[in-house]
Structure 1
Amino acid sequence: MIRDNLVAFLNSLGSEDLKFILEKVGDERPETARPCGGLGPSSGKRRGSKAPCPAKTFEVPADVKHLDQMQLHAITESFRTWFTSTKSLPHKRARGRIWLLYLLIRYGAIKLGEALAVDDREDFEFAKSAVLVRGEHAREVSLPKEVFKEIRRLLEDPMNASLRGEIFKLDQGFVRRKFYERADACGIPRELINPRVIRHSRAIELLREGMPLAVVQSILGHQNVSLTAQYMNFTEQDISRIVNYYILKETEMKTSARNSFTGKVTAIRTGNILAEVEVTTPSGLKIISVITHDSMASLGIKAGLLVTATVKAPWVILVKEDMKLKTSARNKFCGKIVKVNTGEISAEVVVELPDGTKVCSLVTDESVKQLDLKVGDEICALIKAFSVILNVE
C-alpha cells in the first residue's frame, strides 16, 4: 500500500517537480561511482562523456535478483573482450552476434525472446538510435548513441553481409550457455548472468538515473506501473523524507553554503566529546564531518539516515597535486577546474569531480595568480571535517 501510494504520488508530479526532488535528494551516481559499462550513457564523464547515475533513494527488494554497477561493468567488458580477442573471421562473426544481442538486452532492457525476434534489416531506426520491439508489447526503445553506433557498425560490417536478416536468429539455449560462460569468466554467479536479470538490472539503473516510473514501464513493455515498481522498496522514513522535500519546496532552507552533498550516514566513530560521521552520496563520494555528541543527539544522527552535508565556499582549500602538500584535512576531492570568476579582491573557483559533483571555493585573486589557476587544470579541493555542517530535514 505504501509503495503504491508513493508510485501514484511520483507519477502525478510534473517534470519540474521531479527535477526538484531529484536535485534535493542528490543528483549523483549510484553505489560504486564506477562506469556502468564500456558503452552507453554511463560511460565517460558527466555532460559530455560520463553521464552520472543520480539519486539512489530506494533499496531493491531482496527477492529481485540484479547486478550492481561494478558487475554490469565487468560483464560488459567480458563480452567485449571475448568478441574482440579472436582473430578468426568465422569466430568473430559468431561472437559478434552474441555481442549484438547482449547490447540489446543490456541497454534496451529487452526480453531474450524479443531480442531474438528483431529483424536487423527493418527494426532499427538509425535516425532515432532506436530499435522496434515487436510482439505482444510492441514498442520503440531508444538506445544510447554510443551503443547504437556500435550496433550499426557491426550490422554494416562486410563480414555480416551474408547474415543480414538472420543475425539475431539464434537458439535460446545456445545464447544462455554463452552468457553463463561470461559469468564464469567474471567470477559472477551464473544465476545473475541471464537475460532476465540483466533486464532487471537495466530497469533499476534507469530508475536510479531519475527516469520516471511511467517511462521505464514503457521501455520494459510492462502492462502497468505496479510491475515496474517491484524494483523499488521505500522505507517509511524514505517516503516521509521525499514527501517532505516536495511539501517544503516553497520554504526551502536558505543558506550561504555553496557546496552541498546529500547522502546516507554510512559510519559513525565516537570519542569522548566529538563524533566523526561519514556520509556517502549515491555516487560513492564520502565526506567526513566532526560534530559534538550533543549535535549528533539533537539531529538524530544514525547509520542509514539521509542527510545533507554543506560546506561554505571560503572553507574549501585548493591545492595542486604537484605541490606534494601534507595536510590534516580529512576530505580531499580531486577534479578539474571548470570555472574561474575573478573579482577585485576575491575569486570563485568551481571544480568538477569525476562523478560530476561540483565543488566551489572562494579564494583571493592573489591565490589565483600564485597558483596559476585556469579552466581545465587538475586541482584538489581540501575540506576540514570540522567545516562540514550536517543538515537533517
Structure 2
Amino acid sequence: MTPPIKHQPGSLNIICLDPVQLGQLEKSFREWVEETHRPDTRLSRKRIWIIFLLIRYTGARLNEVLALNPFEDIDYNRRIVSFGKTGDVKSLRKREVQLPESVFNEIWSALNDDAFKEFLTQMFRIDPGHVRRKFYERAISCGFSPAQGAPDVIRRARGVELIQGNVPLPVVQQIMGHSTPNLAASYVKFSDEDMRQLANYFIEKESRNKTSARNMFFGKVCAVRKGDIQSCVDVLTIGEYIITTVITNDSLERLCLKPGLLVTAEVKAPWIMLQKSADEPKCSAENKLMGTVIHIREGEITMEFVIRISDGTSLCAITTRETGSRLGILENDSVWAIFNSFAVILHVD
C-alpha cells in the first residue's frame, strides 16, 4: 500500500491520497455498485457513487454536493456543475466547475435512467454521516485506513492532483471554491468569467490526456506597444507576473492581440537561462522569475532543471552537462529563471 501524502515534520499531519490510491478507491466504488443484484440496493449505491464522482472530480465539499439538484445544477450542454446556485449552501462561494468528458458521460447516463430518476425524489438529501460511513467502507476495502476515505481527504487529493498537473494555484483555488488572492493590476483585472475559462481549459486538457503545462503562462494581455516592424506585448499572468514578448506586427494583427485578451505565453526550455543568486540579476533579459529547483535530471550531454515559481507554474530549463555542473545548482536551491522577450511565443486558444 502506498503511504499517504503528509505535510513535512513540524506541520499538521494531513492525510491525502496519491493518484494511484484515488484510482483504487474509484474502482472499489464501481465494483461495489455492480456487485449487488437487488435493484433497490443498486440504486442506493449508485447515488453514493455519483456523490463520490462529484467530490472526486470537482473538489467540492460534501455539503455542497448533497445540496445539489442534479437536474437543475448540472448543465448537460456545457458539462458544468454549478455550486451555491440552489439548496441550503447559498452562503458558500458560487462557482461553476467543468467535469471531464468521461465522468460527465457516466453521471449523465445514470441520471437519465428512469428508475434512478424516480429514486432521486429527494435528490442527494441524505444523512452526511451515512455517506461518510460508506466512503470509509470503500477505503477499508482497498486496504486503506477509514480516514483516507473521508470526503475531505478526497477533495484535498483533487487539489493536490491539479497542482501536481501544473495547474496554476489561482485556477486550483477557483475550482475548489477557495477565496483567491487579489489578481488585479491597476490596468487589468481577471473576471470570474476569465477564471472560469482558464479552469475549463485545464479540465479539457486533463480529459484529453495532454502533456503537462510546463513553460506555459496563462494570462491576459495588459499592454501593446506597436513599432514599425515589431511590437512589444506584455502579459499579466494569473500569478501576477508580467511576461514580455516581442512579435512581428503581422503576428499582432493575425492573433488580434489587444489589452484584455486571454492568451498563453510559452517559452522553450533551451531558451531559459539559470542564475543562482539572492539578488535579481542585472542583465538585458526582460523576463526574470525567482523559483525553487524541484528536480534535476542529468544525461550524457545535457542536464534538465525543473523550477517551480510561486504561483505553482513549472519551468523546465536545459543546459549542457558542462554548464549545468559549473552552475553548482542543487535540488531545493532558489534560482532565477531568465529569458528575453524574443524567446516567448504567444498562443490564442
TM-score, normalised by the number of residues in structure 2? 0.51
State the match for 2:295 in structure 1. 264
State the match for 1:152 in structure 2. 108
Q: Would you say 1:209 and 2:165 are equivalent positions?
A: yes
CA contact under 8 A between 1:267 and 1:303: conserved in structure 2? Answer: no
State the match for 2:25 in structure 1. 75
1:55-100, Cα deviation, whole Å (9 max, x unpaired): xxxx984334321111111111111111122222111101100000
Unaligned runs of 5+ in 2: 85-89, 183-216, 218-238, 246-265, 273-292, 309-319, 336-349
1:126-163, Cα deviation, whole Å (9 max, x unpaired): 00101111222122221111111111111111221322
Counterpart amino acid of 1:113?
N
Cα distance, 1:189 vs structure 2: 2.0
State the match for 1:380 in structure 2. none
CA contact under 8 A between 2:68 and 2:124: conserved in structure 1? Answer: yes
Q: Would you say 1:298 and 2:248 are equivalent positions?
A: no
Q: Would you say 1:140 and 2:171 are equivalent positions?
A: no
Cα distance, 1:301 vs structure 2: 6.3
Q: Distance in 1 between matches of 2:244 and 2:165?
A: 23
Q: Would you say 1:96 and 2:46 are equivalent positions?
A: yes
| Cα distance change on mapping 1:252 and 1:127 into 2, 3 Å | closer
Counterpart amino acid of 2:295?
K
Counterpart amino acid of 2:151?
P
State the match for 1:183 in structure 2. 139
| Cα distance change on mapping 1:156 and 1:71 into 2, 3 Å | same
| Cα distance change on mapping 1:186 and 1:158 into 2, 3 Å | same
| Cα distance change on mapping 1:296 and 1:87 into 2, 3 Å | same
State the match for 2:124 in structure 1. 168
Q: Distance in 2 between matches of 1:305 and 1:72?
A: 31
Equivalent residue runs for 1:359-378 within 5 Å: none
Question: Which stretch shows the higher mean deviation, 102-111 or 202-211?
Answer: 202-211
Q: Distance in 2 between matches of 1:187 and 1:174?
A: 20
Unaligned runs of 5+ in 1: 1-31, 33-58, 227-241, 256-261, 269-273, 283-290, 308-393
State the match for 1:385 in structure 2. none
| Cα distance change on mapping 1:87 and 1:251 into 2, 3 Å | closer
| Cα distance change on mapping 1:128 and 1:223 into 2, 3 Å | same
State the match for 2:276 in structure 1. none
CA contact under 8 A between 2:43 and 2:119: conserved in structure 1? Answer: no
Q: Distance in 2 between matches of 1:140 and 1:181?
A: 30
State the match for 2:35 in structure 1. 85
State the match for 1:129 in structure 2. 79
| Cα distance change on mapping 1:305 and 1:224 into 2, 3 Å | closer
Q: Distance in 2 between matches of 1:251 and 1:160?
A: 50
State the match for 2:177 in structure 1. 221
Cα distance, 1:280 vs structure 2: 10
Report how many residues are paired. Answer: 216
Counterpart amino acid of 2:50?
L
Q: Distance in 1 between matches of 2:71 and 2:155?
A: 24
Provide the identity percentage: 34
State the match for 2:152 in structure 1. 196
- Which structure exhibits the higher relative contact order, with contacts defined as CA atoms closer than 8 Å and separated by 6 or more residues? 1
Q: Distance in 2 between matches of 1:281 and 1:182?
A: 37
Q: Distance in 1 between matches of 2:164 and 2:297?
A: 19
Q: Distance in 2 between matches of 1:163 and 1:173?
A: 20
Cα distance, 1:118 vs structure 2: 0.6
Cα distance, 1:281 vs structure 2: 12
State the match for 2:62 in structure 1. 112
CA RMSD of aligned residues (A): 4.3
Q: Distance in 2 between matches of 1:254 and 1:83?
A: 52
| Cα distance change on mapping 1:279 and 1:217 into 2, 3 Å | closer
CA contact under 8 A between 1:120 and 1:166: conserved in structure 2? Answer: no
CA contact under 8 A between 2:82 and 2:94: conserved in structure 1? Answer: yes
Q: Distance in 2 between matches of 1:251 and 1:125?
A: 38
**Partner SS state of residue 82, structure 2:** strand
Q: Distance in 1 between matches of 2:125 and 2:269?
A: 55
Cα distance, 1:202 vs structure 2: 0.8
**Partner SS state of residue 153, structure 2:** helix
Counterpart amino acid of 1:170?
I
Counterpart amino acid of 1:217?
Q
Q: Distance in 1 between matches of 2:267 and 2:110?
A: 52
1:188-218, Cα deviation, whole Å (9 max, x unpaired): 2222211111111111212222323222222
Q: Distance in 2 between matches of 1:198 and 1:95?
A: 18
**Partner SS state of residue 132, structure 1:** strand
CA contact under 8 A between 2:294 and 2:331: conserved in structure 1? Answer: no
